[in-house]
Amino acid sequence: MAFELPPLPYEYGTLEPHVDSMTMQIHHTKHHQAYVNNLNAALDKFPELKDLGLVDINKAVGTDKLPTEAATVIRNNGGGHYNHTFFWKVMTNPSNTNGPSGAAKEAIEAAFGSVDEMKTKFNAAAAGRFGSGWAWLGVKSDGSLAITSTPNQDNPLMSGLPDAAAMVPILGLDVWEHAYYLKYQNRRPEYIAAWWNVVNWEQVSANYEAAKAGTVPL
């Protein structure tokens, strides 16, 4: 079955003024759509991979499960499709974001000392990612929370990354320039700081519960 561009769970202007409507429209309908199209085109050449779901495709990156001649295009576009599908869901209208709560908040405080300290470390990972990539908060194999960043459209589900990057994502931030350049130009730290105003903490909590239960949230 071919992959499809998922609809956003809100309107393009919902994240204003922190993420502008034009950026969201271009990001979703052009960039994300291109990853979907390119992934489908690659999988058309390898029908044996078509039964894999998006999570399994990403887990297969860096392993011998992917044909060598398709590994790079599937890594880039399968990663792009997963990352963006995940990203849209961890954002919401600014009026709906109230900060972490419950088990997720307790885990953040246990791992980092406080929510503010987690944000400081996350911001550093996002701002320090050279070129294009992502910052992630995730659950490691021992159940603890950690922060990492990945280049391009890589994500912590993929094999062959440094051990510190291996985790199940529960929160992720796109720091490719196309995610913020229309509004923030080269001011990536300003974009990162503003983005916290649209984080969907209810989704993050649900992602955390899923990850603790052994499920990869998508």
32 annotated ligand binder: no
Q: Which residues pair with 145 in a beta bridge?
A: 139
- CA-only gyration radius of the chain, Å: 17
18 is in an annotated binding site: no
Tell me if domain 21-89 and domain 94-212 are identical in fold.
Answer: no
pLDDT value, residue 192: 98
Query: Is residue 31 part of an annotated ligand binding site?
Result: no
Q: pTM to 2 decimals?
A: 0.95
Q: Which is more confident, 99 or 160?
A: 99
The ranges assigned to domains in the chain are 21-89, 94-212
CATH H-level superfamily of 21-89: Fe,Mn superoxide dismutase (SOD) domain (1.10.287.990)
Q: What is the tens place of the pLDDT at every residue in 101-112?
A: 999 999 999 999
Q: Is 174 annotated as a binding residue?
A: yes
pLDDT tens-digit map of 53-73: 999 999 999 998 899 999 999
CATH T-level fold of 94-212: minor pseudopilin epsh fold (3.55.40)
Q: Is the pLDDT of residue 165 over 80?
A: no
DSSP 59-110: HHTTSTTS-GGGHHHHHHHHHHHHHHHHHHHTB--GGG-----HHHHHHHHH
218 band by pLDDT with thresholds 50, 70 and 90:
confident
Mean of all residue pLDDT scores within the chain: 95
Compute the average pLDDT of residues 92-107: 94
- State which H helix or E strand residue 139 sits in: strand 133-139
- The whole-number pLDDT of residue 164 equals 67
The per-residue pLDDT for range 121-144, each reduced to its tens digit, is 999 999 999 999 999 999 999 999
